[in-house]
Amino acid sequence: MESLANLSSKNLERRNLKDRLFKGLVIFLSMLTISPIVLIIYKLIEKGIRQISFDFILKTPPDTFQAMTALSNGELIPGGIANGITGTLLMVTLASVIAIPVGVITGIYLYENPDKFMANITRNISDILQGVPSIVLGLIAYIWVVKPITSGFSALAGSVSLAIMMLPMIVRSTEETLKMIPQSIKEAALALGVPYYKVLLRVLIPTGFSGLLTGILLGISRILGETAPLMLTALGSSVINLDITKPTSAVPLLIWEFYNDPNMVDLIWSSSLLLMAMVLGLNLLSKRIAARTK
């Protein structure tokens, strides 16, 4: 019989080898996963950074002729995407104003009545809503808002389609956040004779505030780059527009327009870089908030 010490040392060598192999594989696959985002950011910076300036944020896009002249003179394309930035901010703000109260209240309802028939239906429908293609939401907003309410393409219609997109994320994150608050905190407040609605508003929501905020920020970062529904609702505009009943531009809409104009292609990269920075910024912010309260 082989001695126990010999056996284990032989075994150990094989185990170490396997361990190293596996570690290598894990590292390789992780690299593979993060490589797209690194490459995307690299490409956007490489191609887009030279267009970024104060003018890019403060001015509206040039017309085709100006862009062509600049290109043939070997200069940077003048102007910027101020109309897109303001339009995006306008529509995202309006969408948040619509979606946040509705979503949070629905989430609270689901948390309060986990097993009720209506709650189950609401939860399932909200999940299905998350899977509805965004262009379909654009069509719906077209029928609901563009035709009957603003009788024409409008920022309001764009906001409605974006709000519907945000809604399921907010509903779910609200419910999950509230579920994570220990029951004992709720009991403590109730045992002080606090009426239930005040327990909810002044104890549960403040306690879960960072969770709610994280869900909302992720929802916003998701709609920030939406293009398809806006094509059917906000349409786009070459000037800065702050009237919610009028057609309005947005950063992703501008990217699509620049793509269709051979003279403006250079602006695609800088616009994408800006959009990407906004989305990444929001994501990092929400991660920060989530981490701080753990």
Partner 1 sequence: MNENTVKIKDPVLSIRNLSVSYEKGKYAVNDVSADIKRNAVTAIMGPSGCGKSTMLRAINRMHELYENIETKGTLIMNGKDITHMPTIQLRRMAGMVFQRPNPFPTMSIYDNVVAGYKLNGIRMKRSERDDIVERSLRDVTLWDEVKDNLHRKGTFLSGGQQQRLCIARALAFDPEVILLDEPTSALDPVATAKIEDLLVKLKENYSILMVTHNMAQAARISDYSMFMYLGELVEYDKTKDMFTNPRDRRTEEYLTGKFG
Residues that bind partner 1 (CB under 8 A): 182, 184-185, 187-195, 198-199, 202-203, 206-207, 209
Q: How far apart are CA 177 and CA 173, in angstroms?
A: 6
Q: Which is nearer to partner 1, 4 or 191 (CB)?
A: 191
Q: Which is nearer to partner 1, 7 or 180 (CB)?
A: 180
Q: How far apart are CA 76 and CA 151, in angstroms?
A: 39
CA proximity to 82, closest of 63, 62, 57, 49: 57
Residue 126 has which token pair? 């909200």
Residue 259 has which token pair? 């793509």
Q: Which is nearer to partner 1, 10 or 202 (CB)?
A: 202
84 neighbors 271 (Cβ within 8 angstroms) = yes
Give residue for tokens 């998701």.
Answer: 222
In the complex, least distance from residue 96 CB atom to partner 1, rounded to whole angstroms: 23
Q: Which is nearer to partner 1, 199 or 250 (CB)?
A: 199
In the complex, least distance from residue 100 CB atom to partner 1, rounded to whole angstroms: 20
Q: Which is nearer to partner 1, 190 or 242 (CB)?
A: 190
150 neighbors 86 (Cβ within 8 angstroms) = no
48 neighbors 272 (Cβ within 8 angstroms) = yes
DSSP secondary structure code for residue 201 in this structure: I
| Distances from the Cα of 271 to the Cα of 86, 89, 188, 242, 278, angstroms | 13, 15, 51, 20, 11
Residue 138 has which token pair? 């654009």
In the complex, least distance from residue 208 CB atom to partner 1, rounded to whole angstroms: 10
Q: How far apart are CA 179 and CA 214, in angstroms?
A: 15
Q: Which is nearer to partner 1, 10 or 198 (CB)?
A: 198
In the complex, least distance from residue 228 CB atom to partner 1, rounded to whole angstroms: 40
In the complex, least distance from residue 122 CB atom to partner 1, rounded to whole angstroms: 20
Q: Which is nearer to partner 1, 28 or 196 (CB)?
A: 196
In the complex, least distance from residue 201 CB atom to partner 1, rounded to whole angstroms: 9
CB atoms within 10 A of CB 257: 18
In the complex, least distance from residue 185 CB atom to partner 1, rounded to whole angstroms: 6
